[in-house]
Structure 1
Amino acid sequence: MTYVIAQPCVDLKDLACVEECPVDCIYEGERMLYIHPDECVDCGACEPVCPVEAIFYEDDVPGEWKDYYTANVEFFDDLGSPGGAAKLGPIAKDHALIAALPPQETGEH
């Protein structure tokens, strides 16, 4: 089991979860953050610090965002398990589900 980042993170990418993660398993794509399913230790430290409540335990992802589990997993198909996000830095791609979304309203103007 793992944690999943869902739609509220798209085009926001607040990095509070990255700073809180003790195992450095939250990677930055172009439009959102992704949790590596094999590197996550299910500690839950990321969930309460997310300002937009975009992080869910795998079994608790709301129905309308169930596809984000697959997006989080498949984002790493070509990356494998790098062993930490910090050494990679931002990754110049997103999962197709996210890339296809129109720009999201972030509340910032």
Structure 2
Amino acid sequence: MPHVVTDNCRNCRYTECVSVCPVACFHIGAEMLFIDPAGCIDCGGCVPVCPVGAIRDSFELGPEEDHWLAVNAEGAVGAPTITTPQPPLPTAESRRAELGLAG
């Protein structure tokens, strides 16, 4: 099962994860990143580098989070592939603080 980007990425869009992805399965949207489930090889390299804990293995999702599989699959369609880190969104630090992860 693939990894998925969850709500913690929304309004942050940190991109450290793309630099460790061996298969270029990340796609960039206006507010967050998406993982193409067809391309993800489930290596897990992206998980520890995400500064907001937004990336999860799909088997770890609870029933109330299963929708993130579809969000990623649909978001990846038509969104550009990203393979090089880019600056986070201007709202990233405030979102990180909102998540209790600032500092």
* TM-score band w.r.t. shorter chain: 0.7 to 0.9
Identity of aligned pairs, percent? 33
CA RMSD of aligned residues (A): 2.7
Gaps of 5+ in 1: 88-102
Q: Please name the residue that 1:45 is paired with.
A: 45
Q: Hey, what's the Cα distance between the residues in 2 that align with 1:49 and 1:71? A: 21
Instruction: Report the AA paired with residue 42 of structure 1.
Output: D
CA contact (8 A) 2:35 2:76 kept: no
Q: How many residues align?
A: 90
Change in CA separation of 1:76 and 1:86 when aligned onto 2, cut-off 3 Å: closer
Report the TM-score, using the length of structure 2 for normalisation. 0.74
Relative contact order (C-alpha < 8 Å, sep 6+): which is higher? 2
Which amino acid is the alignment partner of residue 75 of structure 1? G
Q: Give 1:69's aligned residue.
A: 69
TM-score by length of 1: 0.70
Q: Secondary structure at the match of 2:31?
A: coil
- Aligned residue identity for 1:57: D
